A and B are shown apart, each in its own frame.
Chain A
Amino acid sequence: MEGLMEDDELKILPEGCVSTILSFTSPQDACKSSLVSTIFQSAADSDIVWERFLPVDYEDIVSKSNVRFEFSSKKELFLHLCNSDLLIDGGRKSFRIEKSSGKKSFILSARDLHITSSNDPLYWHWASLPESRFSEVAVLRTVSWLEIVGKIKTQMLSPNTKYGAYLILKISERSHGLDSMPSEISVEVGNSQGSTTIAYLRLAREHARKQQMERLFYGNRMEMLKSRVVEGDGRAPSERDDGWLEIELGEFFSGENDEEVKMSLVEVRGHHLKGGLIIEGIEVRPKQY
């Protein structure tokens, strides 16, 4: 038997082993490894690798979409789900995979949120915007009671992952009253009372100018309004890559059990009218460490 095989045959790592090794790394490592050698490239493209990176319930999620798309490999499917929003649940939610980790993220559309008085056209109306991934966004005309609540089950998310919840919004040029008073934002998991903090619905560039005016005219009134809500520095919206603004409502750990996460932004203490807010939805996505 000796001499029948080349002596150095086993010095070469079998492609199947390379695939298994890469499946234990990350999507980023697997893509990068394509460049190591031709064996690695072919191993890094295999379904063994990408099946492991896809969420365990990806078939279920994809089946909730109206869009039927063809893909030739698990890698192609994975990258497709990273690079574009997949509308699911009749267009009420969108789904994505985070490229570097393979973890799941969702955006609950405005229609999937509980927005107080949103079905009363006096206060809110529903519009279709070209820059929205959804068919409709909620546009605030004017309201004194501003309450936006989103709910998601942790079982829909990747387990044991730190997630952040972000309200995706726009502030129109004709907005008024939105940051006269800070909004209270919170994220609660299950029955545990989450901590409430504050946020200002305003554009940073507008803010500096306004602040000067406020101090000049309403100094005392502003201080009084602010003292009615909890203390804190107050978050402000930041710009997203998709042209929207976002404001972090809070964070939570998805764990392993199925619990309901309640994410909210509320401003009901000022009693003044506010308007000019456009709500795209609430995004729930993994937080970078």
Chain B
Amino acid sequence: MSSSTDSPTLTTETTQLSPQPDTETAKPTKKITLKSSDNQIFEVEESVAMEFATVKSFFEDSPSTDTVPLPNVTAKPLSQVIEFCKEQIKFKANPDEAQKKKYNAEFVTEKSDKDLVDMIPVANYLEIKDLLDVLNQAVADRIENKSVEYVRSFFGIDNDFTAEEEAALRREHAWAYEGVDED
């Protein structure tokens, strides 16, 4: 059964259908080139690239292209996102919820705080919902019950409030600053 997804050869079932190759199943594994903002080239199978909703619609609009420039995505988070999507394709072919959960958990556990934070905008831009869910939850777990200063440095964000604004906010939510974990 698995041959229908893995192999480009037409089976008896598909010969009865229209001669146009089905883009999902029967096309030979086409490679798509993704180019990061720091000019690194990533060759990925079409099925992986189609996990990126943004890339998918790019192809729907201009089907003749084979290189997709991603002018605001750097190589490191992109390579990690590709790694994640490759695994998800395998789970799509052979659904195994327990294994998928385990993989997703390990995927985020072994990443640094910075890796997670850098991947979120990329997953958001490329519209990879599954990955975004996993990343958001992982980040939420890491910042839960931490101090404001910890959260700032976690995300690499500068405090852009004036002293007055900050004082007003602290008063408004005074209860929330009690009992946080040690940084």
Contacts and interface: CB of A to CB of B under 8 A. Distances in A.
Interface of A: 1-14, 16-17, 20-29, 31-41, 99
Contacts of A23: 140
A21 B136 contact: yes
Interchain residue pairs A-B with the least CB separation, the first 6? A24-B140, A31-B176, A31-B173, A10-B121, A32-B176, A10-B72
A17 B143 CA distance: 14
A31 B175 CA distance: 9
B177 to A, nearest CB: 6
Interface in B113-149: 117-118, 120-122, 124-125, 132, 136-137, 139-141, 143-148
A37 B37 CA distance: 27
Contacts of A5: 71-72
Contacts of A25: 140, 143-144
A22 to B, nearest CB: 7
Contacts of B71: 1-5, 7
Given A25-B143, A29-B176, 20 more contacts: A1-B69, A5-B72, A10-B122, A11-B118, A12-B121, A13-B117, A17-B132, A21-B139, A24-B137, A25-B140, A25-B144, A31-B176, A32-B173, A34-B173, A36-B148, A36-B159, A37-B157, A37-B161, A39-B157, A40-B151
A64 B177 CA distance: 33
Contact of B157 (A20, A31, A36): A36
B6 to A, nearest CB: 33
Nearest to A28: B176
Contacts of B137: 24
A7 B152 contact: no
Contacts of B155: 13, 36
14 contacts: A8-B72, A9-B72, A13-B120, A16-B124, A20-B136, A21-B136, A24-B137, A28-B176, A34-B169, A34-B173, A36-B159, A37-B157, A38-B160, A99-B175
Nearest to A14: B124
Contacts of B72: 5-10
A284 B120 CA distance: 40
Which of B69, B143, B147, B152 is most buried by chain A, counting CB atoms within 10 A of its CB?
Answer: B143
B144 A35 contact: no
B140 A37 contact: no
Nearest to B125: A10
Given A2-B71, A5-B71, A13-B117, A41 B169 contact: yes
B183 to A, nearest CB: 13
B170 interface: yes
B166 interface: yes
A272 B125 CA distance: 75
B151 to A, nearest CB: 5
A7 B74 CA distance: 9
Contact of B158 (A10, A20, A31, A37): A37
B122 A35 contact: no
Contacts of B117: 13
A26 B155 CA distance: 18
A29 B145 contact: yes
B85 interface: no
A24 to B, nearest CB: 3
Nearest to A8: B72
Contacts of B145: 26, 28-29
B121 A14 contact: yes
A34 B117 CA distance: 18
B173 A21 contact: no
A22 B137 CA distance: 9
B37 A36 contact: no
B73 interface: yes
A283 to B, nearest CB: 20
B105 interface: no
Given A17-B132, A24-B136, A31-B176, A38 B161 contact: yes
Contacts of B10: none
A36 to B, nearest CB: 5
